[in-house]
Chains A and B, each alone.
Chain A
């Protein structure tokens, strides 16, 4: 499990103590609302948006805070280019 640190997902997502710039970007136009990412995200920082995309799905979006950069959502998402995860890089 070289690239995926499951320990990270247990980390306290409290942004006040955050010392890294991990985040997730989701291209809502390419999301098929399968919800696998939401299910898999331990800190629970993803949610379904209320808008509809062109394919007729409610895309998932990042609540904007608390992503640990664990990468789980990237690997469980069946779409090639929907999720981009910036992993934990220590803030300089």
Chain B
């Protein structure tokens, strides 16, 4: 299609409403920045392929983080370096989408080095536009993995030295050793001739994806006048005269002709199949238990549960959240693991609320369930005044030091042992907390526990443990509970 008029492509928004400030017609990029030219070429290609409606751009962290100001298409802004992973997810979930991972060199070759390696190695059917400006533009000109030997940046004030910082990483060369990529080319934003080659490469990268051929990455050497401390025209010349010496232009891999279009089978699942896969049941998905009357001090609790890995800490949190859902509350469950999954410490935050929840991480804790001593040591002081602490007094041999909180000492591990399994100490605590707070009905918790526990042989012992915990609290209701272990 030959156009008579060259003008702003339609795949750009007419007005950049999302951009802050009053100037909504120009980009936020510095004068002479290569990102702008590359954007224009992508938008033009999107127009011509007519893919605006199904294109999803993944914008990176870096100067182009705001790509979503400009492109009239889907957009997800990914954490630093993770664009290829996000692109993978979107492409696989919606095979008909055209997914563009747009990344700078700090993003792609630095923090995201392994993401791109594996996306390329899997041969994801995505298109990656890799903008190599040999520097971290956004953060103020620090060295990038692609910074040239001898190039001065704020973090290499005497110039990059191979001994200190290693050699510039040549992404196309590196990826060309992999089997899967279909098309790898390095092009450059310099004079009109080279810009036209960029234009062609961008189209080819998109065309490959449209035809289902597989992974394409186009590395674009791009001027960053600000980061390099040069005038735009000098920066453009520097790409030509200097940057291109280290990063040679050319096609590093091109299997476009022989790559067979990938047939993507998308299986449709019925809701029954999904339930089966998840091991869930539809039973009772349509009813709620009544919310009991809850004392003001126990309403809307932000709960922290902490203990050893293996004590069922996260599971206890899940049961609380599930019971909350079944009682019609809003709830969140946020697990936090130690560096090791087994044997380390584990904790989770649960919020249960009558109101919508802004953040799953409360600034304060209303209820602490401490299953071991390190947990009490660590979190005792995070509990708000008049908050509640449940102490597993079987394993914690000290009193709570605070005297402005309510404390319930529950010998959870011993009570669990009495029903024949110390592992259900978490359910003892659930019983204790439910009896104390009355935040859900007992029936509700038992129903949830029965639904959630996969191994049905545990149902009985779980229920017994839960009742033990409840009874312990109810029977000791009028006594001032004191720790006897000391």
Contact residues of A with B, CB < 8 Å? Answer: 1-4, 6, 29-30, 32-36, 39-40, 54-55, 57, 71-72, 74-87, 89
Which of A55, A72, A78, A86 is within 8 Å of B36, CB to CB?
A: A78
> Do the beta carbons of B40 and A75 come within 8 Å of each other?
yes
Report Cα–Cα, A33/B3, bound state, in Å: 27
Q: Would you give 13 A-B contacts (Cβ < 8 Å), ordered by A?
A: A1-B196, A3-B6, A4-B196, A6-B192, A57-B31, A75-B192, A77-B37, A78-B36, A80-B39, A81-B8, A81-B26, A82-B26, A84-B6
> Do the beta carbons of A55 and B40 come within 8 Å of each other?
no
> Do the beta carbons of B34 and A85 come within 8 Å of each other?
no
* Interface core residue of A29, A34, A82, A85 (most chain B CB under 10 Å): A34
Report Cα–Cα, A6/B192, bound state, in Å: 9
Chain A residues within 8 Å of B12, by CB? 80-81
Closest to A27 in B: B25
Chain A residues within 8 Å of B273, by CB? none
Closest to B43 in A: A80
Contact of A3 with B3 at beta-carbon distance under 8 Å, contacts A29-B25, A76-B192 already known: yes
Report Cα–Cα, A35/B377, bound state, in Å: 64
Q: Which of B162-198 contact A (CB under 8 A)?
A: 191-193, 195-196
In this assembly, does B368 line the interface, its C-beta being within 8 Å of a C-beta of chain A? no
Smallest beta-carbon distance A54→chain B, Å? 8
Chain B residues within 8 Å of A34, by CB? 31-32, 225, 232-233
Which of A1, A39, A71, A76 is within 8 Å of B37, CB to CB?
A: A76
> Do the beta carbons of A78 and B5 come within 8 Å of each other?
no
Closest to B12 in A: A80
Interface residues on B, range: 35 or more
Number of A-B contacts (CB under 8 A): 103
> Do the beta carbons of A81 and B192 come within 8 Å of each other?
no
Contact of A78 with B25 at beta-carbon distance under 8 Å, contacts A36-B32, A40-B191 already known: no
> Do the beta carbons of A84 and B5 come within 8 Å of each other?
yes
Chain B residues within 8 Å of A79, by CB? 26-27, 36
Which of B9, B23, B37 is within 8 Å of A78, CB to CB?
A: B37
> Do the beta carbons of B6 and A85 come within 8 Å of each other?
yes
Known pairs A6-B193, A81-B25. 13 more at Cβ < 8 A? A3-B3, A34-B32, A34-B232, A36-B233, A36-B236, A57-B31, A71-B6, A78-B27, A78-B32, A78-B35, A78-B40, A80-B26, A86-B4
Task: In the A-B complex, list the 3 residue pairs whose CB atoms are closest, starting with the nearest.
Answer: A78-B36, A34-B32, A32-B31
Report Cα–Cα, A34/B8, bound state, in Å: 18
> Do the beta carbons of A75 and B37 come within 8 Å of each other?
yes
Report Cα–Cα, A84/B6, bound state, in Å: 6
> Do the beta carbons of A2 and B2 come within 8 Å of each other?
yes
Closest to A24 in B: B6
In this assembly, does B29 line the interface, its C-beta being within 8 Å of a C-beta of chain A? yes
Report Cα–Cα, A54/B192, bound state, in Å: 29
Which of B31, B196, B236 is within 8 Å of A75, CB to CB?
A: B196
Smallest beta-carbon distance A27→chain B, Å? 8
Chain B residues within 8 Å of A2, by CB? 2
> Do the beta carbons of A87 and B195 come within 8 Å of each other?
no
In this assembly, does B33 line the interface, its C-beta being within 8 Å of a C-beta of chain A? yes
In this assembly, does B70 line the interface, its C-beta being within 8 Å of a C-beta of chain A? yes
Residue-by-residue, is B1-23 near A (CB-CB < 8 Å gives 1, otherwise 0)?
A: 01111111100100000000001
Chain B residues within 8 Å of A72, by CB? 192
In this assembly, does B199 line the interface, its C-beta being within 8 Å of a C-beta of chain A? yes
> Do the beta carbons of B29 and A78 come within 8 Å of each other?
yes
Chain A residues within 8 Å of B43, by CB? 80
Which of B34, B36, B191, B231 is within 8 Å of A80, CB to CB?
A: B36
Report Cα–Cα, A81/B8, bound state, in Å: 5
> Do the beta carbons of A78 and B33 come within 8 Å of each other?
yes
Which of B2, B199, B233 is within 8 Å of A35, CB to CB?
A: B233
Contact of A76 with B31 at beta-carbon distance under 8 Å, contacts A81-B8, A81-B12, A84-B6 already known: no
Closest to B35 in A: A78
Report Cα–Cα, A32/B37, bound state, in Å: 13
> Do the beta carbons of A87 and B5 come within 8 Å of each other?
yes
Report Cα–Cα, A80/B12, bound state, in Å: 8
Chain A residues within 8 Å of B33, by CB? 78
Report Cα–Cα, A39/B235, bound state, in Å: 13
Chain A residues within 8 Å of B233, by CB? 34-36, 39
Report Cα–Cα, A87/B200, bound state, in Å: 20
Chain B residues within 8 Å of A35, by CB? 32, 231-233
Report Cα–Cα, A84/B3, bound state, in Å: 12
Closest to B222 in A: A78
> Do the beta carbons of A87 and B36 come within 8 Å of each other?
no
Chain A residues within 8 Å of B9, by CB? 80
> Do the beta carbons of A81 and B7 come within 8 Å of each other?
yes
Report Cα–Cα, A30/B36, bound state, in Å: 13
Chain B residues within 8 Å of A80, by CB? 8-9, 12, 26-27, 36, 39-40, 43, 70
Report Cα–Cα, A84/B43, bound state, in Å: 15
Closest to A32 in B: B31
> Do the beta carbons of A85 and B5 come within 8 Å of each other?
yes
Closest to A78 in B: B36
> Do the beta carbons of A33 and B37 come within 8 Å of each other?
no
Contact of A3 with B2 at beta-carbon distance under 8 Å, contacts A35-B233, A80-B70, A81-B12 already known: yes
